[in-house]
Amino acid sequence: MGRNWRNKSGRSTAGTSGMAAGTSGTALAVALAVGLLGLTGCGGGEDSGDGGEGSPSASHADGGSQPPAPKGPDRVGAAPSVVPSVRDWKAVRGPGWERTKYTRVVTDSGSLKDEAKLLADELKVDVARGPARTGDIELKRDKKTKGGREGYELTSRDGKVTIASAGDAGVFYGTRTLLQTYRAQHRFAEGTVRDTPDRPQRGFSLDIARKYFSADWIKERIREMGDLKLNQLQLHLSDDQAFRIESDTHPEIVSDPHLTKNQVRDIVKLAESRHITVVPEIDSPGHLGAVIDAHPDLQLRGAGGQSPRGAIDIANPKAAGIVDDLLGEFADLFPGRYAHAGGDEYQALMSQNPEETYPGLAKEAKDKFGKKAKIQDLATDWLNDRAATLRKHHKMPQVWNDGMHRGGVVTPSKPRQVAYWTGREDGEREPEEYLKEGWQVVNMNDEYLYYVIGQPNNFTYPTGERIYKSWTPAVVRGTEPVPDKYAGADDIVGGRFAVWGDLADAQTTAQVADGIRLPLAATAQKLWDPQKPERSWSQFVKLVDRVD
């Protein structure tokens, strides 16, 4: 939020009265009111707010009548009401901006037409080309604006708002700040916002394999994410219980219900309109039970007849072929930069003695990589190959931290990013170890950011209050932050709040949406600005309710 926020009312303590004292000030106010009535014929152009007569007139849109000067007291107004809070707000004296019947969203940039139309629809006003006038909201690209493609500057002056950024995403985020503040205050005070996120990756991860979430439910979360300035949606598409996306290369593995490709295209299109990248995850070599159901010959089997659920036989070349088919098939359907290759909880490596339990894999490892090789080397090689497949399709691979093994003959390939979720894995590698090795980390700390439906395995539903008060992107595992030298955005590139469907029937999708609302807002706040918030938790909750 703005650093001049001080009191519970949401108003700055400076400049509480801007009206000049004495009879001359009164006379001036009366004269101004009479003049405005004569100009507009509607009491100074106060907006009806119903989208009917409150819509911009055709004569104004065509350059006919002139809008009135802004009205209201000449004072320092309230700081913006927005989640996540703006990082820099400089207030000045003035009446501020209000939506009136003259208000338009104005842009001369072709790339911003979607942002302009969305905001205009939300405010029930028209879109127009420049020049901008009193009452208007102007959107523009400006390479000189600081903060990169996601930073923006919002200036409210003389009854007009200008939102500028070096990138379309930054302009969009500026419109969210304006819209939320308008919802909460019905105006925007005079002043300037300069805002930019602390982390480049700010997201939400959803397991649609174990629990099906409809396309409409996902779209609602995308709209919610857009308002919160989150920019990544990870979809966990496959697991032991189901494979939830239409496939042309392997239709035999697809479960019902599932997302059709047309539904996915609609999801991706809506996400792109909110500057959100959809990150697909086909998890392997574990969590492939739905694939194994259709191809039982791929089931991993141990010396004693063990057949761990979801574990594929990575010594079988057919397994790699199927997974690579799927990764390639969905590469264009999800056109974003990132794709998740999984790598977690491969059951062969979770047994007490992997080499004795799974001698077939142990032999394959030695045959392929030498006598010192172990099954973990075979698993590392498997994930390296899947990462290579993704890179061929111009994706940056992301993998779970427990798919990154130390001290083997085979080492993990680069480039890739590590999604750190747990310290429960065998070996319990600390986040600092990955950071020292130069891996970029996405924080998915299961202590704070895991909403596991049904709360199995000692998980409890995370609270927004706990995230808001004690989590930051630097707290990657447990409750303690990594050393400061590794805590920056170059090393910990962001984080995601995650929903997992372990006990799918324990909650309805509506209950999940309600349960994650405040935790997701708190996560967005701390990814945008990890500093200790100036608002109390109760104030933050009230703000979320006002701007929603």
Tokens at 213, concatenated: 């979430």
Q: What is the pLDDT of residue 9?
A: 33
Mean of per-residue pLDDT scores for the chain:
89
Of the listed ranges 55-69, 269-283, 333-347, 401-415, the one predicted with least confidence: 55-69
3-state secondary structure of 128: strand
Q: How many CB atoms lie within 10 A of CB 203?
A: 27
More confident residue, 101 or 31: 101
Q: pLDDT tens digits for 365-412?
A: 999 999 999 999 999 999 999 999 999 999 999 999 999 999 999 999
Domains 88-195 and 201-536 share a fold: no
Cα gap 152→163, rounded to integer Å: 7
- CATH architecture of the domain with residue range 201-536: Alpha-Beta Barrel (3.20)
Cα gap 352→311, rounded to integer Å: 16
What residue ranges in 345-389 does DSSP mark as E strands? none
Q: What is the pLDDT of residue 71?
A: 64
pLDDT at 159 over 70: yes
Considering 98, 224, 345, 447, which one is annotated as catalytic? Answer: 345
- List Cα–Cα distances, 83 to 68, 203, 404, in angstroms: 32, 15, 35
More confident residue, 7 or 283: 283
Q: pLDDT tens digits for 457-468?
A: 999 999 999 999
Calculate the CA 540 to chain-centre distance: 19
Of the listed ranges 11-20, 105-114, 264-273, 509-518, the one predicted with least confidence: 11-20
What is the domain partition of the chain in residue ranges? 88-195, 201-536
CATH class of 88-195: alpha beta
DSSP code, position 81:
-
More confident residue, 493 or 24: 493
Q: What is the pLDDT of residue 163?
A: 98
Q: What is the pLDDT of residue 427?
A: 63
CB contact at 8 A, 125 and 105? yes
Residue 345 annotated to the active site: yes
Q: Please give the average per-residue pLDDT across 202-227, as a whole number.
A: 98
What pTM was estimated for this model as a whole? 0.86
